[in-house]
Homo-oligomer: A and B are copies of this chain.
């Protein structure tokens, strides 16, 4: 009986049984392992959303937790499968950016998965079930999987730092839009603290200017837009009891300016 936890992030939905096939395979290989559904409702092929979900939850799990992330539009092509090892966790999934936040926050070793070593039949469209789930199960069973892995130094990330365009201005990117319509920006509390003296901040987005960082939603009027830190300390544009992205008719490619004063 394994005392490990395996946490799952996929874009499979649940209505086709694909995520359950992964769960069944894991429970067959490693009885007693604890499965946690992080999400199976990632928007299909939305790598950024999966990375964001993983980033919001992984630090709260116990050491040795194994995260399996299967948002994998390139399945069956030449993209690598990865096992990422940090001091506390394992992360398993495709090399397409789903682990971008991990690379930014953790010291890690990266291994690509050598498929032809796996001695199993692998569906070209379902590595979640046939590659990533079995590898997670074997790690949870404390089996040696070294022969499936080859160290690698190049991994794919979509995470870019804010771009300073003048002494007082930055161009930001939206990392994702969350379930409540909050727009999450690539500007971390640490980026702000590095500016010294915790300066005032304004964000200009779709012809609106939002001034100052609020501590919480509830202290502004209902339906008002505001800036606040999200629960992982990224700057976010929120709307008290409303949906900021809809209010701003925002799409992920719209330009965002940050000013300090």
Contact = CB atoms under 8 A, between A and B. Distances in A.
A216 B57 contact: no
Contacts of A22: 60
A115 to B, nearest CB: 13
Given A65-B24, A126-B231, A219-B76, A15 B39 contact: yes
Contacts of A36: 20, 23-24, 27, 35
Given A16-B53, A17-B57, A219-B77, A28 B124 contact: no
Given A5-B27, A17-B56, A76-B216, 10 more contacts: A3-B31, A9-B17, A15-B49, A20-B53, A21-B57, A21-B231, A22-B60, A24-B57, A45-B241, A124-B216
Contacts of A17: 9, 38-39, 52-57
A2 interface: no
Given A14-B41, A16-B178, A28 B215 contact: no
Contacts of A241: 45, 73
B60 A18 contact: no
Q: Could you say how many copies of this chain the assembly holds?
A: 3
B73 A12 contact: no
B179 A28 contact: no
Interface string A31-75: 100111111111111000100111111111110010000000111
A41 B13 contact: yes
A53 B7 CA distance: 21
A43 to B, nearest CB: 7
Contacts of A231: 18, 21, 123, 125-126, 129
A36 to B, nearest CB: 5
A15 B216 contact: no
Contacts of A7: 20, 24
A50 to B, nearest CB: 9
A65 B39 CA distance: 23
Nearest to A18: B56
27 contacts: A5-B27, A7-B20, A9-B17, A14-B39, A15-B43, A15-B179, A16-B39, A16-B53, A17-B38, A17-B53, A17-B54, A17-B56, A18-B179, A18-B231, A20-B57, A24-B58, A24-B62, A27-B36, A27-B62, A28-B60, A28-B62, A60-B129, A77-B216, A124-B216, A125-B217, A125-B228, A125-B230
